Structure 1
Amino acid sequence: MNKFIIFYLHLFFTLLLAFQVHGQSSAFKITGKIVDEKNTPLEFVNVYINSTSIFTQTDSLGRFTLSLPGSKIDFELVVSMVGFNTQKQKFTKYNIPKFLSIKLIGNQLGEVVIKAKQDKYWWKKWQIFRNGLLGENQFSRECTIENKDNVQLKMDPTNKLVLANSRETFIVRNKALGYKIHVDLYEFSSDGVKTNYSASKYFEDDLSNDEKERAMQLKRRLKAFHSTSNWFLQSLANGNMLGEKFEVFKIKSMVDIYLGKTTVEKEVLEGRLIKTTDSTIYQYDSLSKRHLIYSDLPLLVFNKNVLNYFRNPFTDYTYAFSKIDLPNHFAVFNNNGFISIPNGITFHFHWGNEGLSSALPENYEVPSETPVEAVVPLIELVFENRKSDSTAINRQYTENQNIGFVNNTTSKDANDDYFIKPDVLFRPTELEKNADIYTLLRRVPGLRVGYNPETGQYSISIAGMSTNGDNTPSLLLNQKLYFGKADVLNALEFIETNNITEIGLVKYGSNSMLGSRGGNGTIIIKLKN
């Protein structure tokens, strides 16, 4: 390890030890009282630990108590109430006062709600805001933003940016994962490609009362966790990085992903990439109970559970890859792999599109009785996400994937779908089934898949056909025929790719069984029973 980093980490831990106390592993509490400027106790004030599901409200005397797990070392306390300025304060478990006295200052708006006029560009601005906040992945379509009037949208015409903040807390309801996310948004800016926002939030369980849907939501939470950087960091903490199929290289110089092709082997041989192990980028301090990821160079992480072919310059490593920048050489994370002291950590590419639709609370616990299953990717490839602190995210992308889940798989034997003989047949491997539906369709010879970042929409056509008009092939799925771009793309979004056994393609012309509906070709997807 670089001598400078050794000294830096030694100094860091020395400072931490100054706060050391006994009984670190046991749960602890935060208690306090909240008053207004006239020292009048305030009831129903929201008090929460940022980015967690740890939340309470003050009683009639303005008092509150929060219980935190002993594993929670670093955290940010947020106090929020309509008509008052939100207050935030960072703590470690070693420097919490016995009793907190907090005074809230009233804001100018008070109880007045001002509804901004919706100009003719409002919907476009809202779409940019929604996509930037939620991200573009398989769960974003199942998210709704409530209390829209609490969000103020503006336009910066000079820089062509959509700007936003919230005068009051608003709610993102994520039906896919079973959460209501309460958001206090301080800053937001996006040009539709690059997004930056800063917010405080807490997660409220909103699981379905239906037993089957509830089980699916819990399963999706696990899949969401396995698609994030948190899983990688947790594998470091468990000493099982290779076992979880992560491979890491230090970057001396980064290959330009926009130009040409290369191989990891070539980059290693020519000294631009340096293969590393978990022991050279991870350290655990037993006294402060903190996990650290550290490096004097940026890191390139391959997740070998997830295939990625699109805009991947590495022909021998066709996996999802992410770049991690550590400008201050280290970052601190907890047992679950959530960053607690970011130190300017920056995620790029695959991990650069973690919007609220795939977010989990920092105190999310992986079910111990649930075996780790192969990851289902939320997105394919993204081109830059910058985190300046624990709640600020910058996002730059060129392609995003939307995948849904099969609501009803009670089809007959999939062989019945082949009343049409396909011209091309593609059978994805088990590893390929972990990719999104559009990545799989790109693997079908003769099928062309495009993406428009301006509209956020995909297009599908047979290679060689004109791109003018709607040339979307029909889709035959579970003996049901879909035709027309809107219906076909909507049906594709609700396919769970690990159920796919074969993808067939009828390339051209009308089929006697389909008539004119088969004139643009037909995609035939077979699913498991």
Structure 2
Amino acid sequence: MYSIFSFPSIRKSLFTTILSLFTAIVYGQSAQVTISGKVTNEKTGAPIPFANVYINNSSIGTTTNENGAYTLANLPLGNLELAVSSLGFNPIKEIVRFEQPGLKTVHFKMREGIELDGVIIYSRKSKLLQQRIKIITRELLGQSKFSKQCKLRNPEVLRITAPDNGHLLAQTTSPLIIENYALGYIIHQDLDDFDYHEGKVYYGGNTRFELMKPENEAQQKLWRANQKIAYKGSLKQLLSSMVSDSLQENGFRVFQEIPESRRVFNTVRVYNGLNPLKNHLNNRLEEVRGITLIQPGELETERLVVTQTQLEVFNMNKRGRSPYTDMAYSYSTIKMPNGYIVITPQGWVVTPMGFEIRGDLGNDRFANLLPSDWKRD
């Protein structure tokens, strides 16, 4: 009669597999970073209490205690963009990288005073000021169905100027507070720069998300449902779909510009038996699967999105304008000047490398914006 011990090679292989799986699970659970440190006045060395320390563009954050000390726990490995803000000090933004789990120390020194360039302070009763605040509000919140449920709580922190060249510029003296009652977030935005000109807007700065407390379970469910709507068709969903190779399943079609040296002018490229973009010129584009754009990063928590040429993205779940008469769907373009960006498998952009987004995806505003750490069910 045979027993399991009669097959030592099978038993050893099985044991090794189980041990490897157990090790992977334990490492996955423990491969996290805890950051602690102090926030002090650069000039005097005095601690700064109640400063906000957070991961930029996320809801992960804390405040310093009366000694200026802080702790951020359960952070993933890889690149983290840490941001610090405090009333009366210039905000700080710094990228740090952690490749090993454990306790890390990061200190911050803040400079007093808010440095604003050439601002003009208006009377609160100024009609011109109100008109300009209305434009800034519209451009920051966007014009989606959620924008009507958003509000700028403290527009008085805006410092606005309008040079003779037609630009409308703004900065903030302290974080601009945006209440988003559609998604359940309070957004604190340090607006380093805002430039509106001829219908186009550029803005940047540190962004901190704070979770609102729902009044009841029904409101919490509504917020979650709206968050799912905001996620659908977003950049975050697009990037995570590339990683999971599920672009078409999630309603995306992505075309990559073919380098001129590889273009074939006497044939028509097909994709899965289809002839995409019938009216595109000289086979300038070819449809790609998400997985062809993804490469592994240095860490398990990182992926690289790699392309040397422009990507053109269609959201097939949303009608819209595009340069192509046979593809009347929402249209976006993505350029990566450095040839790649670094993301997490969930679509969180951790190292943007100056990539540019235009079109529908570039029109996302705070009314539809989710924190980078938002997770699907």
Task: Give yes or no for TM over 0.5.
Answer: yes
Over 3 Å counting, the alpha-carbon distance change for 1:313 and 1:268 in structure 2 is closer
Displacement of 1:267 in angstroms is: 4.1
Displacement of 1:68 in angstroms is: 3.7
Specify the code of the residue in structure 1 equivalent to 2:95: K
Give the structure 2 partner of residue 129 of structure 1.
136
On the 8 A contact 1:284/1:292 being kept in 2, the answer is: yes
On the 8 A contact 1:132/1:192 being kept in 2, the answer is: no
Q: How does 1:484-523 map to 2 (within 5 A)?
A: none
127, 135, 147: which one aligns with 1:140: 147
Give the structure 2 partner of residue 53 of structure 1.
59
Over 3 Å counting, the alpha-carbon distance change for 1:84 and 1:241 in structure 2 is same
Gaps of 5+ in 2: 1-25, 260-274
On the 8 A contact 1:151/1:166 being kept in 2, the answer is: yes
Q: How does 1:286-301 map to 2 (within 5 A)?
A: 287=299, 289-301=301-313
1:281 and 2:288 are equivalent in the alignment: no
On the 8 A contact 2:78/2:299 being kept in 1, the answer is: no
Question: Structure 2 CA distance, aligned partners of 1:362 and 1:351?
Answer: 15
Q: TM-score, normalised by structure 2?
A: 0.80
80, 85, 93: which one aligns with 1:80: 85
Q: How does 1:351-390 map to 2 (within 5 A)?
A: 351-367=361-377
Select the structure with the greater relative contact order (CA < 8 A; seq sep ≥ 6).
2
Over 3 Å counting, the alpha-carbon distance change for 1:221 and 1:182 in structure 2 is same
Give the structure 2 partner of residue 433 of structure 1.
none
Give the structure 2 partner of residue 8 of structure 1.
none
Specify the code of the residue in structure 1 equivalent to 2:345: N
Specify the code of the residue in structure 2 equivalent to 1:80: S
Displacement of 1:24 in angstroms is: 6.8
Q: 2:326 aligns to what SS in structure 1?
A: coil
Percent identity for Structure 1 against Structure 2:
28
For residues 484-523 of structure 1, the C-alpha deviation after alignment (integer angstroms, 9 at most, x for no partner) is xxxxxxxxxxxxxxxxxxxxxxxxxxxxxxxxxxxxxxxx
On the 8 A contact 1:268/1:275 being kept in 2, the answer is: no
Q: How does 1:113-512 map to 2 (within 5 A)?
A: 116-118=122-124, 119-157=126-164, 159-191=165-197, 193-252=199-258, 264-267=276-279, 270-285=282-297, 287=299, 289-308=301-320, 311-367=321-377
Gaps of 5+ in 1: 1-21, 254-262, 368-529
Q: 1:41 aligns to what SS in structure 2?
A: coil
93, 96, 99: which one aligns with 1:94: 99
On the 8 A contact 2:279/2:325 being kept in 1, the answer is: no
Displacement of 1:294 in angstroms is: 1.4
Question: Structure 2 CA distance, aligned partners of 1:122 and 1:320?
Answer: 34
Point out the more displaced range, 311-320 or 240-249: 311-320
Question: Structure 2 CA distance, aligned partners of 1:138 and 1:146?
Answer: 19
On the 8 A contact 1:42/1:61 being kept in 2, the answer is: yes
Specify the code of the residue in structure 1 equivalent to 2:307: S
Q: 1:232 aligns to what SS in structure 2?
A: helix
Question: Structure 2 CA distance, aligned partners of 1:361 and 1:102?
Answer: 24
Specify the code of the residue in structure 1 equivalent to 2:343: F
Displacement of 1:302 in angstroms is: 1.7
On the 8 A contact 1:54/1:68 being kept in 2, the answer is: no
Q: 2:249 aligns to what SS in structure 1?
A: coil
Over 3 Å counting, the alpha-carbon distance change for 1:286 and 1:46 in structure 2 is closer
Specify the code of the residue in structure 2 equivalent to 1:120: K
For residues 38-87 of structure 1, the C-alpha deviation after alignment (integer angstroms, 9 at most, x for no partner) is 222221111111101111111122110012432x5222111111112222
Question: Structure 1 CA distance, aligned partners of 2:221 and 2:193?
Answer: 35
Over 3 Å counting, the alpha-carbon distance change for 1:288 and 1:321 in structure 2 is same
Specify the code of the residue in structure 2 equivalent to 1:307: R
Give the structure 2 partner of residue 10 of structure 1.
none
Specify the code of the residue in structure 1 equivalent to 2:207: K
Specify the code of the residue in structure 1 equivalent to 2:301: K
Structure with greater helix share of residues: 2
Displacement of 1:214 in angstroms is: 1.9
Q: TM-score, normalised by structure 1?
A: 0.58
Displacement of 1:285 in angstroms is: 3.0
Question: Structure 2 CA distance, aligned partners of 1:271 and 1:59?
Answer: 60
On the 8 A contact 1:136/1:353 being kept in 2, the answer is: no
Q: 1:233 aligns to what SS in structure 2?
A: helix
Question: Structure 2 CA distance, aligned partners of 1:275 and 1:85?
Answer: 45
Displacement of 1:103 in angstroms is: 2.3
Q: 1:156 aligns to what SS in structure 2?
A: coil
Specify the code of the residue in structure 1 equivalent to 2:251: K
On the 8 A contact 1:267/1:273 being kept in 2, the answer is: no
Displacement of 1:359 in angstroms is: 0.8
Q: 2:250 aligns to what SS in structure 1?
A: coil
Displacement of 1:23 in angstroms is: 5.2
Displacement of 1:97 in angstroms is: 8.3
On the 8 A contact 2:244/2:291 being kept in 1, the answer is: no
Over 3 Å counting, the alpha-carbon distance change for 1:365 and 1:220 in structure 2 is same
Point out the more displaced range, 271-280 or 77-86: 271-280
1:33 and 2:38 are equivalent in the alignment: yes
Displacement of 1:286 in angstroms is: 6.3
Question: Structure 1 CA distance, aligned partners of 2:50 and 2:323?
Answer: 54
For residues 114-141 of structure 1, the C-alpha deviation after alignment (integer angstroms, 9 at most, x for no partner) is 9632433112211221122222212111
Q: 1:127 aligns to what SS in structure 2?
A: helix
Displacement of 1:148 in angstroms is: 1.5
Q: 2:337 aligns to what SS in structure 1?
A: coil
Displacement of 1:320 in angstroms is: 1.9
Question: Structure 1 CA distance, aligned partners of 2:351 and 2:28?
Answer: 18
Give the root-mean-square deviation of aligned CA atoms: 2.6
